[in-house]
Chains A and B, each alone.
Chain A
């Protein structure tokens, strides 16, 4: 169950450009937080897999392609794969509000994103409690940088996520229910990298590949 006190109304409002002093929108945000907590049926699943580098980077039989994920998992010997979803009831309620009150739909959309973040955070804590490794990377998801979105299906298969938490992926790699996240967390006994800082074409300063990268941007 999600709790209303888990959400910071003011920061959600600020995230959408609204001053928390706006009484009407602030009240609406409060209502929508309550609504989301009522309808969400959050489910999570995670598992730790050894990282296999024999024939390219792999978790189980799922190849992890691209330079960004390779950089992110540098030095890691294991990785946790996680999947979280708020359930299709949240998609339904957002759709319902789109037909009656778009502001509320927009707010719910933002609250749901935040709720997914909370779920991921909870899973991270569980992983930390159960792993013997010293260092954990930040979460890295398919679609970040050059890590192909098509990895999504493989990760769900690894976790048996459809059966275990009702999370599916379409042929176009869309997660359904929509308010869902999958991610990989590298586990290591040596200090870890954070490739999200250098995601290709977004931020190149400090990237370990700075000198050689062909898609480097200068800002």
Chain B
């Protein structure tokens, strides 16, 4: 008997609760019992098999090194014992699954656990389970899509066992980490699991509508393993009877659910009742057609109408983006991601390719920074397979890869990645001979890419084609060639079509006019995924108008929502604020930017804008803050306004023109700590005063901080820690800095620190607030 052979049956019965049956006394770790009291676990397996379970899960839910840390137990030994025990009990009567639960920790970026650490924790027990004779791997009760992906990849890359995967959803159809059912299904099916479903969560009644939703998002065999109702808040007990449980669960057959069992609160009685209830049932076999979509870990974007791919995160021709990538300034990327999200982009392209960086290191970092601040799905844009794979591994969701082309080398390097990670792929219609001049030839290359993808097992609708925009000035039929090829791809192949739009106008006057006209032509001809700058409002206007006119926007709701306030917005913002200094002191961001622009147009020297307007205004606010007249919100407001003035200056000036670098400072929240709002406030203020901040982020290991200090030759390192438990890491970092880079000064801050303590751990300065960090920095760099 194998899982594959079981799939030919109408229904497959799993087991029910393990913890419920073990009758654990307080402090008992279930995973330990397989070693210490195997008979107790064996009795549970036996009872389930006798009740009709065709698959039993070994007692290994928490058997991973992360969960077992602090206990004397070794995960691999626990797993081996548990699998062997279940195998000996089942004796061929039931399959034995390795039960795999969450690590109990949140992965980066929400938490501190790395993808690799989670992967490794799963990998070792999965290999052990296969060696011990497990028949399958059952990943369950998952909430974090990235953690689930780590587990699935660990299973698929290291064993040959079938993988069943179930996640836990709340009544709103999302997991605790915000993952919607659709995103879970898209991602897990893409990763190649063998069956997918919902476990734990709620009772059978409450899970039913969730299962209905899941059934619309996957073609895989479905698994339902709900609890015995909702728990009593005082006792934690469950109250749905075996008969009621079985009756409701048997209705899942109408949704096509094939694999059923129970979770918390269920016992062999429930499985027996379920077996009876299913006796005369047949499961629905209505063929399911899946919606086309891509997703992040928290949002699914349906490709049911033209969707905008934001192009701003790309260093090509963008000096500021290049600088940000070279200096590791991920905040700049975050800012671009947020701005595009707010402008109405549906998907964001991420391209970090620029000379001087290692793309395979920077692309995953950039992806991680961006998914912290936007829930839009990403398009990973690179021609470097190593960079793509590094980003694909840590991306929670189903991304688009941009791109493959018709060249043999490209297809053989990129398409296997697309298949392995379940991504969508953009195919560029060019090959070894370059970009064809005719629409037919581009169509043929597109078709070839599609056929190759299908032959590798990539679903047809994961392939999107880009028929390439050439500059209109190169020939009168440039636009027409693109449009004709695009229309054929859409009509004859039925694929999504991608197009970078703005190339069309290169070298011509009034580019926005050409861009939006070409966009309208392309949309009408079947362009579904335009790549454009979402901050160019005329482009977004065209997309919104097209969606409305083409009937995608029911009741014109989105169009109206976007434009009903347009008249109001056009009113001038200028009010009583007369000067840049006033705007900064009062936290008026837009005005601060406008006055700066106006000053530049009046040929005011940028240096005097900084020294005579911005810094005095900031000092005035700072003074008010020190005297207790103003408080942190006003200080931050002013700093943010000043920041918007500085960014206008940066767009137009070199660093030298704005007064040169005052000095570089490294900031980090120490290892183990993820509370970083304080550090970010300090960063904002330091930048206002002209310092270059190298922000290493949060949860930063001591050696990383020291290495960065040495390589950037900084004179000052600022460290932040919020918890008593992480102040130790601060002390360690300072000691390491003293040993390896003694000339560097340190400034420390954070809720639990005091001046005494700062001195004790060897810091040069204790900063009671952000302003005092600035004061110390000015002393260190000889300004005050």
Q: B549 contacts the other chain (Cβ, under 8 Å)?
A: no
CA distance A186 to B75 in the complex (A): 36
Q: Which residue of B lies closest to A131 (CB)?
A: B234
CB pair B177 A16 closer than 8 Å: no
User: Which chain A positions have C-beta within 8 A of B110?
Assistant: 88, 91-92, 176-177
Q: Which residue of A lies closest to B103 (CB)?
A: A168
B272-298 CB contacts (< 8 Å) to partner A: 298
Q: B344 contacts the other chain (Cβ, under 8 Å)?
A: no
Q: B106 contacts the other chain (Cβ, under 8 Å)?
A: yes
Bitwise, A164-206 to B at CB < 8 A (1) or not (0) is 1110101111101110000000000000000000000000000
Q: Which residue of B lies closest to A80 (CB)?
A: B234
CA distance A46 to B232 in the complex (A): 10
Q: Which residue of A lies closest to B684 (CB)?
A: A102
From B106, B178, B640, contact of A101 by CB (8 A):
B640
User: Which chain B positions have C-beta within 8 A of A150?
Assistant: 725
User: Which chain B positions have C-beta within 8 A of A163?
Assistant: 141, 168, 200
Q: A8 contacts the other chain (Cβ, under 8 Å)?
A: no
How many chain-B residues does the 8 Å CB contact rule pick out? 61
Q: B723 contacts the other chain (Cβ, under 8 Å)?
A: yes
Q: A56 contacts the other chain (Cβ, under 8 Å)?
A: no
**Contacts A87-B176, A102-B636: A172 and B111 contacting too (C-beta < 8 A)?**
no
CA distance A88 to B372 in the complex (A): 11
CA distance A89 to B177 in the complex (A): 7
Q: A2 contacts the other chain (Cβ, under 8 Å)?
A: no
**Contacts A168-B105, A168-B111: A106 and B636 contacting too (C-beta < 8 A)?**
yes
Q: A126 contacts the other chain (Cβ, under 8 Å)?
A: yes
**Contacts A96-B373, A163-B200, A166-B175: A61 and B27 contacting too (C-beta < 8 A)?**
yes
User: Which chain A positions have C-beta within 8 A of B681?
Assistant: 102, 106
Stretch at the interface among B212-220, B331-339, B508-516, B598-606: B331-339
User: Which chain B positions have C-beta within 8 A of A176?
Assistant: 105-106, 110-112, 674
CB pair A168 B636 closer than 8 Å: no
**Contacts A61-B27, A91-B110, A172-B726: A18 and B338 contacting too (C-beta < 8 A)?**
no
CB pair B26 A99 closer than 8 Å: no
CB pair A46 B233 closer than 8 Å: yes
From B27, B105, B170, contact of A60 by CB (8 A):
B27
Q: B382 contacts the other chain (Cβ, under 8 Å)?
A: no
Bitwise, A28-48 to B at CB < 8 A (1) or not (0) is 000000000000010101111
CB pair A170 B587 closer than 8 Å: no
CA distance A160 to B236 in the complex (A): 10
CB pair A165 B725 closer than 8 Å: no
Q: B536 contacts the other chain (Cβ, under 8 Å)?
A: no
**Contacts A47-B234, A149-B725, A178-B674: A170 and B27 contacting too (C-beta < 8 A)?**
no
CA distance A165 to B374 in the complex (A): 24
CA distance A165 to B201 in the complex (A): 10
Q: B471 contacts the other chain (Cβ, under 8 Å)?
A: no
CB pair A99 B112 closer than 8 Å: no
User: Which chain A positions have C-beta within 8 A of B70?
Assistant: 153
CA distance A135 to B168 in the complex (A): 37
CB pair B677 A174 closer than 8 Å: no
B701-739 CB contacts (< 8 Å) to partner A: 723-726
Give chain B nearest CB distance to A137 CB in angstroms: 18
Q: A215 contacts the other chain (Cβ, under 8 Å)?
A: no
User: Which chain B positions have C-beta within 8 A of A149?
Assistant: 723-725
Q: B673 contacts the other chain (Cβ, under 8 Å)?
A: yes
Q: Which residue of A lies closest to B679 (CB)?
A: A98
**Contacts A41-B172, A107-B633, A171-B69: A48 and B234 contacting too (C-beta < 8 A)?**
yes
CA distance A166 to B174 in the complex (A): 12
B94-135 CB contacts (< 8 Å) to partner A: 102, 104-106, 110-113
A96-110 CB contacts (< 8 Å) to partner B: 96, 98-103, 105-107, 109
CA distance A25 to B200 in the complex (A): 44
CA distance A94 to B674 in the complex (A): 13
CB pair B677 A162 closer than 8 Å: no
Q: B745 contacts the other chain (Cβ, under 8 Å)?
A: no
CA distance A170 to B66 in the complex (A): 10
Q: B597 contacts the other chain (Cβ, under 8 Å)?
A: no
CA distance A164 to B238 in the complex (A): 13
User: Which chain B positions have C-beta within 8 A of A172?
Assistant: 112, 672-673, 723, 725-726
User: Which chain A positions have C-beta within 8 A of B172?
Assistant: 41
User: Which chain A positions have C-beta within 8 A of B692?
Assistant: none
CB pair A16 B633 closer than 8 Å: yes
Q: Which of B105, B335, B587, B631 has the most CB of A within 10 A?
A: B631
Q: Which residue of A lies closest to B178 (CB)?
A: A89
CA distance A47 to B112 in the complex (A): 28
CB pair B677 A106 closer than 8 Å: yes
Q: A208 contacts the other chain (Cβ, under 8 Å)?
A: no
User: Which chain B positions have C-beta within 8 A of A88?
Assistant: 106, 110, 176-178
CA distance A143 to B143 in the complex (A): 28
Q: B675 contacts the other chain (Cβ, under 8 Å)?
A: yes
CA distance A170 to B216 in the complex (A): 36
Give chain B nearest CB distance to A81 CB in angstroms: 12
Give chain B nearest CB distance to A107 CB in angstroms: 7
CA distance A162 to B177 in the complex (A): 11
**Contacts A98-B680, A176-B106: A170 and B672 contacting too (C-beta < 8 A)?**
yes
11 extra interchain contacts, Cβ-Cβ under 8 A, other than A24-B586, A88-B177, A98-B677?
A18-B631, A24-B637, A46-B233, A48-B234, A60-B26, A96-B372, A99-B338, A130-B234, A172-B672, A172-B723, A178-B675
Query: Can you list 7 A-B pairs, Cβ within 8 angstroms, ordered by A?
Result: A17-B631, A18-B631, A100-B335, A102-B636, A103-B640, A170-B112, A174-B673
Chain B residues in the interface with A (C-beta under 8 A): 26-27, 69-70, 102, 104-106, 110-113, 141, 143, 168, 170, 172, 174-178, 200, 231, 233-236, 298, 331, 334-335, 338, 372-375, 586-587, 630-634, 636-637, 639-640, 672-677, 680-681, 684, 723-726
Chain A residues in the interface with B (C-beta under 8 A): 16-18, 24-25, 41, 43, 45-48, 60-61, 87-89, 91-92, 94-96, 98-103, 105-107, 109, 126, 130, 143, 149-150, 153, 160, 162-166, 168, 170-174, 176-178
Question: 9 shortest A-B CB distances, which residue pairs?
Answer: A166-B176, A17-B631, A61-B27, A172-B672, A99-B334, A61-B26, A60-B26, A102-B636, A103-B636
